[in-house]
Structure 1
Amino acid sequence: MLKICIAPLDWGLGHAGRMIPIIKELDKQNHDVFIAGAEEVIRFLKYEFPNLTYIPIPAYKPKYGSRLPLELEMAKQSHHFLKIIKEETEIANALTEKWKFDFIISDNRYGFRSTKCKNIFITHQLQILMPGYLKFLENFLNRLNHSYINKFDECWIPDFEKTENLSGKLSHNIELDIPQFYIGPLSRFSDTKNNQLQATGSKEILAICSGPEPGRSKFKNILLKQLSQLEEPNVLIGGDLNAVKQSKKYGNCTYYPFLSPTELIIFFKNANIIISRSGYTTVMDLFFLQKKAIFIPTKGQTEQEYLATKFRKENICPSYDLHKFNVRNALAESSNFKGFEEYSNIQPCVRGSLKKHIELRLTSK
C-alpha cells in the first residue's frame, strides 16, 4: 500500500471534480489517499469521500469579473500566484516529511511537489493561448509553463493521444523534458457505479454555473433571469458551496445553490441539454454522458474560448458570448448540432485505461 497525496487546484471546482475517478481507483487498489487543498476543494470532495484524510493548504483564489480584460486581471494577480507556488513547495516538503508520502499527484498546482517523493503533474494545458494583442507573450509564457511542469517527475494528460481527441492543440504536439502520458479523459461520470444510477424520466434543460467569483455570480444572475421566463421546465445549479443547500423556484426554473457529486449525476442524466461554461472538465463530463450542450465561454479565458470555437466548428455544440446570449435562440439553434454523442465511437477506448495506467505507474517509488 502506497501513501498518495492528491492536490487539486482551486480554480473553480473542475480540477477537484476530475480527480474523483483517480481517487476512486486509488482507493480500489487499497492505497492510502490524502487530499491537500483549499477550503472549497476540501468541502466539495468530502461529499464524495468523507473518510479520507484532508489537509488544508493555501488557496490560489483567482478573481474574475473586474473591468479589466481577464488576461490583465490575471497579470495583476500574478505576484500572488507566484507567492503561493513558492509556499506550496515548502508545504509539500513538510507534509511529505510528516506523512511519508510515496507519491504526490498535483492537478495544476505548479509548486506542490516534494524532493522527498515522486511527483506527478496533471494538466490538459501544455499550450497556453493568448489573445491577439498579447500573442507576442505566448512563447515566453509557454516556456515558463513548461519550466514549472518539468520540475515534476511525470506529466499525465487527461485526453487521448491520437488525432481524435478532446483538447486539440491545448495538449498535443508539445514535448516536455519529463515523461508525459495520455491517460484518457477524466470524469466523475466515468464510474460504472454512477452509470447505473437511474434518471427520473423527466427531461429538462440543465444549466451549470462554475468558476471563480465574482464571475460565477454574474453568470448565474444572467442565466437565472432568462431561465425563469422559459416555458420549459429547467434547473439551474449555482455552484455556490457557501450557500444554504435549499432549492428555490423562479417561474419554471428550479434553482439549487449546489449539489453533491452523486446528486449532480442524476440531474445530468435527466437533462436533454446542458448550458455551461466550456471548461475542459465540463467537456470531459459531456464526453462520458454523450449529451447535447450550449457553451458560454468565460470572456478572456482563452482556453474556454478555444474549446468553444473548436466544438462549434466540429458541429458538436453552439457557443455564445454571455452578454449576447439569448436562451430561446440558443435552444433553437442547438438542434442543428450533433452533440457529444458524436464521440460514442471512441468512448470505449477509455474504459479500464485509468486502472491500467495507475497499476503501471504507481507500482513503486
Structure 2
Amino acid sequence: MNFPTEPATPNALKPTVISPRALFAVSSLGLGHATRSLVLINAFLAQGYQITIVSTGNALAFLRLELADNPAIDWQDREDYPPLERGTGWRFYRFLIFDLFKTWVLIQKEHRQFEHSATEYDFVFSDGRYGFYSRWTPSFILSHQIAFIPPKGLQEISWLSDHLNATALKKFDQIFIPDYPCPSSNLTGNLSHTPVLNDAKNQYIGILSSYPHLEMNQDIDYLFVISGYLQEHKETFVKNLLLQARYLPGIKVFILGDPAANIEQYAEFQKDNLIIHPLASGQLRQELFGRAKCIISRAGYTT
C-alpha cells in the first residue's frame, strides 16, 4: 500500500462544503409568478443555495434574462397547464372542461416525475405548479388564489371548485399568501380570504415586489405595461392601445411582456415619441418604471 510521502496540508483536511439546494417551480400563466418568485430566488441565491428553476414560455425567458449566466442555477423547461380562459360563448365551456382535465393529468405527471428527484433538494417552492410537492422534502406553495370566481352559469358550484383547490394546496407543508390578513384591507378580497383555509397551514406574507424605488428624472409621460394573463386577442388589444396612445401628448413607452413579440407588426406606430419593448428585464425594467410619470397597466394580480 502506498502512503503519501509528505504530510497533508491543512486545506486537504478541510471537509467538502456542499451547498444547500432548492427547486423553484414557477407558473408561466402570465409574468406575475416569475416577477414575485424572483424576489425569493435572489434571496436564497444570496444565502449560497444552488437553485433549480422549472418553468416554460415567457416566464422562463424572463427569469433567464434576469438571472443570466448565474452558475448557481440549473434550468428546466417543462410543460405548463393549459389556459383556462379560451374561447367565447359555448366554446368557452367546452375548452374549460377539456383544459381542466388536461390540467389534472399534468399535475399528476409532474408530481410523479418530481418524486424521483425530490430528495436531492433541501426544499421545494412552487408558485402555481401544483404537482411539485413531496412527502420526503419540505414543500411550500405561493398562491393568492385560494378561491375562484366561476364564470357565468357556474356560480352555484363555486363551493366545489374552492374545496378542490384547497385540497390540492393542502398537500404542501405550508401555503404562503402574498397579501395582507385583514379581511377588509387587502388586495384580493375573497380570492385569498376564504373559510376553506381554516384547517390549512397558511401564512399571509404581504406583498412581494421586485421593483425598488429609484430616484430618477421622470422623462416618460406614459408607460404602458401589457401584463397579466392575456393570450387570446392580445395583438388586437395592443393595436387598439397604440391607436389611442397617438392622441396622448409627450413620450410614450410600451412593454408588451412577450420576448417573442414581433415588433415589426407595430412598425407603423413607432415614432420618436413612442417606443415599444417586447420585454423589459433587469436594469431596463427598473429604469422604465422609475422614469414614468404615469403607468397604465393591463395588469394581473402581481403587477
TM-score, normalised via structure 2 length:
0.82
1:156 partnered with 2:173: no
Q: Equivalent residue for 1:217? A: 235
Which amino acid is the alignment partner of residue 180 of structure 1? N
Q: Which structure shows the bigger proportion of residues in helix conformation?
A: 1
| Structure 1 contact 10–61 (Cα < 8 Å) conserved | no
Give the C-alpha shift of residue 46 in structure 1. 1.2
Query: What do you get for the CA RMSD once the two structures are aligned?
Result: 2.4
Are 1:158 and 1:182, in contact at CA under 8 Å, matched by a contact in 2?
yes
Q: Distance between the aligned counterparts of 2:79 and 2:39, measured in 1?
A: 24
Please state how far the C-alpha of 1:143 moved relative to its aligned partner. Answer: 0.8
**1:107 alignment partner in structure 2:** 127
Residues 245-264 of structure 1: pairs in structure 2 closer than 5 A: 250-251=270-271, 252-264=273-285
Match of 1:144 in 2: 164
TM norm structure 1: 0.69
Larger RCO of the pair (alpha carbons < 8 Å, separation 6+): 2
261-270 or 3-12, which moves further after superposition? 261-270
Q: Structure 1 residue 131: deviation in Å?
A: 3.9
Equivalent residue runs for 1:48-87 within 5 Å: 48-50=66-68, 51=70, 52-62=73-83, 64=85, 66-68=87-89, 72=93, 73-87=95-109
Task: Report percent identity of matched pairs.
Answer: 28
* Structure 2 counterpart SS, 1:206: strand
Decide which structure has the larger Cα Rg and report it. Answer: 2
Which residue in 1 is equivalent to 2:254? 236
Q: CA deviation at 1:70?
A: 9.0
Equivalent position SS for 1:87: helix
Q: Which residue, 3, 26, 37 being the options, matches 2:55?
A: 37
CA positional deviation for 1:68:
3.5
1:176 CA drift (Å):
4.5
Which residue of 191, 209, 215 corresponds with 1:187?
209
The count of residues paired between Structure 1 and Structure 2 equals 275
Amino acid at match of 2:30: G
What amino acid does structure 2 have at the position aligned with 1:201?
Q
Counterpart of 2:145 in structure 1 is 125
* Aligned-residue offset at 1:132: 4.7
* SS of residue matched to 1:127: coil
- How far did residue 273 of structure 1 move? 2.1
Mean Cα deviation higher: 227-236 or 119-128: 227-236
Aligned residues of 2:220 and 2:253 also touching (Cα < 8 A) = no
Gaps of at least 5 residues in structure 2 are 1-18
Matched, 1:21 2:39: yes
Flag the 1:69–1:109 CA change in 2: closer, same or farther, 3 A: farther
The alpha carbon displacement at 1:253 in A equals: 2.4
Contact 1:63 1:212 in 2 (8 A): no
SS at match of 1:104: strand
